[in-house]
Amino acid sequence: MKYAEILHRCFRCGYCKLPGNYIDFNCSAYAAFRFETYSPGGRMWLLRAWLDEKIEPSRRFQEILFSCTACGNCVEQCVLTKIKDELLLAFTAGKEALVCEGKVPPPVRDCLTKLQNYGNPYGFTRKKRTAWTVGTGIEAFSDQEFLFFPGDVGAFDSRGQEIARSVATLLNRVGVTFGILGDQEVSDGNETNAMGESELFRLLAEENIKHFNELNVKKIITLSPHGFNALKNEYPKLGGTYEVFHYTQILAAHTGSLSFENDLPEISVTYHDPCYLGRHNWEYGSARKILASLTGVKAREMDRSMQNALCCGGGGGNLFTDILGKGPESPAQNRVLEALGTGADILAVSCPTCAVMLGDAVKSTNLDKRIQVREISEIINDRLK
Partner 1 sequence: MYRKDKFMKQIYDILLEIVGPGFVSDAQEEKYIYSMDPGTMPACEPDIVVMPGSTDEVQKIVQAANTYRVPLVPLGAGLVLSGLSRALKGGIVMDMKRMNRVLEINELSRYALVEAGTSQGMLQAYLRKHFPNLKHSAPDAPPAATVAGNVCIHGSGHMSHAGGFHSDMLNGLEVVLPTGEVVRIGSCATSPYWFARAPLPDLSGLFLGWAGTTGVITKLSIKLYPNYPLNDVSVFVCEDASIIPDILYQITGTQVAEDVTTWMTPKPDWAAGFFHCNVNYGAKTKKELIWKRNLIRSAVESYIDAKTGGFLPLPSMMKQRFLEVPARQLSLFADVRKGGGFEYVGAIMPVELFPKAYDLGLDIADRLGVSYSMGCRIIGINHSMMFFYAYAFNRADPDDVARAQSALEETNKKVLDLGGIPWKAEAPAQKEILRKMDPNMVDLMGRVRSILDPNHVMNPGNWEEDR
Helices 106-118 and 198-214, axial angle in degrees (round to 10): 30
Of residues 3, 28, 33, 141, which one binds partner 1 by CB under 8 A?
A: 33
- Contact between 50 and 37 under an 8 Å Cβ cutoff? The reply is no
The residue among 54 and 363 lying less far from partner 1, judged by its C-beta, is 54
Amino acid at site 324: L
Task: Kindly state whether residue 282 participates in binding partner 1, applying the rule CB under 8 A.
Answer: no
Q: How far is the CB of 14 from partner 1 (least distance, A)?
A: 3
Contact range with partner 1 by CB under 8 A, out of 44-52, 95-103, 251-259, 332-340: 44-52
Of residues 1, 2, 37, 51, which one binds partner 1 by CB under 8 A?
A: 37
Task: Kindly state whether residue 301 participates in binding partner 1, applying the rule CB under 8 A.
Answer: no
CA separation for the pair 27, 248 (Å, rounded)? 26
CA separation for the pair 383, 278 (Å, rounded)? 26
Binding mask 172-211 for partner 1 (x = CB under 8 A): ----------------------------------------
The residue among 224 and 330 lying less far from partner 1, judged by its C-beta, is 330
Task: Kindly state whether residue 322 participates in binding partner 1, applying the rule CB under 8 A.
Answer: no
Contact range with partner 1 by CB under 8 A, out of 77-85, 102-110, 228-236, 344-352: 77-85
Contact range with partner 1 by CB under 8 A, out of 46-54, 196-204, 271-279, 364-372: 46-54
Contact range with partner 1 by CB under 8 A, out of 18-26, 257-265, 348-356, 357-365: 18-26
User: Residue 243 contacts by C-beta under 8 Å, 6 or more apart in sequence?
Assistant: 218, 219, 220
Task: Kindly state whether residue 23 participates in binding partner 1, applying the rule CB under 8 A.
Answer: yes
Of residues 29, 47, 64, 362, which one binds partner 1 by CB under 8 A?
A: 64
Of residues 36, 162, 206, 382, which one binds partner 1 by CB under 8 A?
A: 36
Q: How far is the CB of 93 from partner 1 (least distance, A)?
A: 17
Contact range with partner 1 by CB under 8 A, out of 7-15, 106-114, 220-228, 345-353: 7-15
Task: Kindly state whether residue 337 participates in binding partner 1, applying the rule CB under 8 A.
Answer: no
Residues found near partner 1 in the complex (CB under 8 A): 8-15, 17-18, 21-24, 33-37, 42, 45-46, 49, 54-56, 58, 60-61, 64, 79-83, 303, 327, 329
